[in-house]
Amino acid sequence: MNLADARKWMVDGQVKPNKVTDLRIIEAMLDLPRHLFVPAAVRARAHADEDVPLGHGRVLMQPMMLAKLLQLAQVRDGEAALVLGAGAGYGAAVLARMGAKVTAVENDAELVALGRAALAEISVAPGSLQLVESAPIEGGPAGTAYDLIVIEGEVPEIPAAISDRLAEGGRLVAVRRQPGKAGAGILGRRIGGGFSVTEAFDCTTAPLPGFVRDAGFVF
């Protein structure tokens, strides 16, 4: 199976059957070379129906779970988007192909290097994607309010320091797993200065290092 066929199998066999209907996601996943965003040792698993290990406890999310999370985000053309725990930047590249202007934050230097090499080989609109080496828990570059925040990893709650980065009317999507509960894909919204969260679908993935419960978390 060649790589284009592998991507088609991934989309037709995993993404579409799970009610992902946003054509921008489907087209991006069909075109983007997902295998370039994972270490060479696991490229044969890049299109499998599972999280792909990236090393140091990190993963590239299962294709259909990532697609459902990005569909939940309801991306609009030209929106400022922040991706935290971006890994090598595959999810951020999908968002950029959907029309967002994306800042992708990752603190693992090896993944940042892998991502920059991958991004050099793909086509996205000029200025639509930057990969920044920084701690995701810090919420990315200061001084910017984002229309959309995507957390690529499982977290116990959403830190207030991150939800506060949303502009009025902004959305946040993540995988949240609270103690004693199953994981869920969530949609958070900032409305009237407040932030509220609703659960959208069952979802689990690897915990994102650095996100620990403390007094500054939003419950």
Domain ranges in the chain are 3-218
Helices (H), the chain: 3-10, 23-31, 63-72, 90-97, 109-119, 160-163
The contacts of residue 206 (CB under 8 Å, 6+ apart) are 51, 57, 58, 59, 153, 154
The pLDDT assigned to 217 comes to 46
* pLDDT of 219 above 50: no
Average pLDDT rounded to a whole number, residues 90-114: 97
pLDDT tens-digit map of 38-56: 999 999 999 999 999 999 9
For 56-99, the pLDDT digits (tens) are 999 999 999 999 999 999 999 999 999 999 999 999 999 999 99
**What values do phi and psi take at 149, rounded to 5?**
-125, 130
Look over the chain and give the mean of its residue pLDDT values, rounded to a whole number: 94
The answer to whether the CB of 86 falls within 8 A of the CB of 104 is yes
What's the pTM value of the predicted model, to 2 decimals? 0.94
Report whether 217 contacts 159 (CB < 8 A): yes
**Residue 141 — pLDDT band, cuts 50, 70, 90?**
confident
Please give the angle made by the CA atoms of 68, 72 and 75, to the nearest 5 degrees. 115
Distance CA 41, CA 37 (A): 12
The tokens for 162 are 């991150």
Residues 6+ apart with CB under 8 A from 48: none
The structural architecture, per CATH, of the domain 3-218 is 3-Layer(aba) Sandwich (3.40)
Q: What is the pLDDT of residue 211?
A: 87
Side-chain-facing half-sphere of 173: CA atoms under 13 Å: 23
Q: Which residues contact 91 (CB under 8 A, 6 or more apart)?
A: 61, 66, 70, 83, 150, 152
Burial grade of 33 (CB within 10 A; 0-12, 13-18, 19 or more):
middle
Strand, helix or coil at 34? helix
pLDDT higher at 2 or 218: 2
Return d(Cα 73, Cα 95) in angstroms, integer.
10
Question: What does the pLDDT look like over 5-25, one tens digit per residue?
Answer: 999 999 999 999 999 999 999
CA nearest neighbour of 133 among 115, 112, 161:
112
The arithmetic mean of pLDDT across residues 126-154, rounded, is 93
